[in-house]
Amino acid sequence: MSATLWLLLADAVLIIHAVFVAFVVIGLLLIVIGNHLGWGFVNRYGFRALHLTAIGVVVVESWFGVECPLTTLENWLRFKAGVSVYQTSFIEHWVGGLIFYNAPEIVFTLIYTAFAAMVVATWWRYPPRRS
């Protein structure tokens, strides 16, 4: 397989990763705002369970020091493409810059845990409903 194809696959994984992050962050905003505006879908059990599971996975990975499988896959694909640390595609540069920050791991663990606590609080404040 060509380096270009490996890079395209890596960029696709990065976009999936960004969509996952957006789902977790925007999902919480939708739950809170949607409850104030009367949007029924934000309390559907499936949506809420998927949202809670998504942040739960992030928190557990963080607590146990496990790298996100999407990050692992993306890095492996970039390695297969023969890309060094300083070579990035347009997508990697911009999308990666949006979701990856340079800070001590404890900072992320605390942020993820606090965010998960907010998600759990929405289950109490705005309980999900089964169809």
Higher pLDDT, 47 or 107: 47
Q: What's the pLDDT at 97?
A: 77
Is the pLDDT assigned to residue 107 strictly greater than 90? no
Query: Is residue 82, in this structure, part of any structural domain at all?
Result: yes
N-term to C-term CA, the chain: 46
The predicted model scores a pTM of 0.83
Q: Helix and strand tally (H, E) in the chain?
A: 5, 0
For range 28-54, the mean pLDDT: 96
Angstrom distance (rounded) from CA 115 to CA 113 = 5
In a domain, 130, yes or no: no
Query: How many domains does the structure of the chain reveal?
Result: 1
Cβ neighbors of 127 (< 8 A, separation 6 or more) are 43
Does residue 53 sit within a domain? yes
> 131 in a domain, yes or no?
no
- Rg (the chain; Cα; Å): 17
What does the pLDDT read at residue 26? 97
Q: Answer yes or no: is 55 within a domain.
A: yes
| pLDDT number for residue 91 | 59
* pLDDT tens-digit map of 22-36: 999 999 999 999 999
Q: Which domain holds residue 71?
A: 3-125
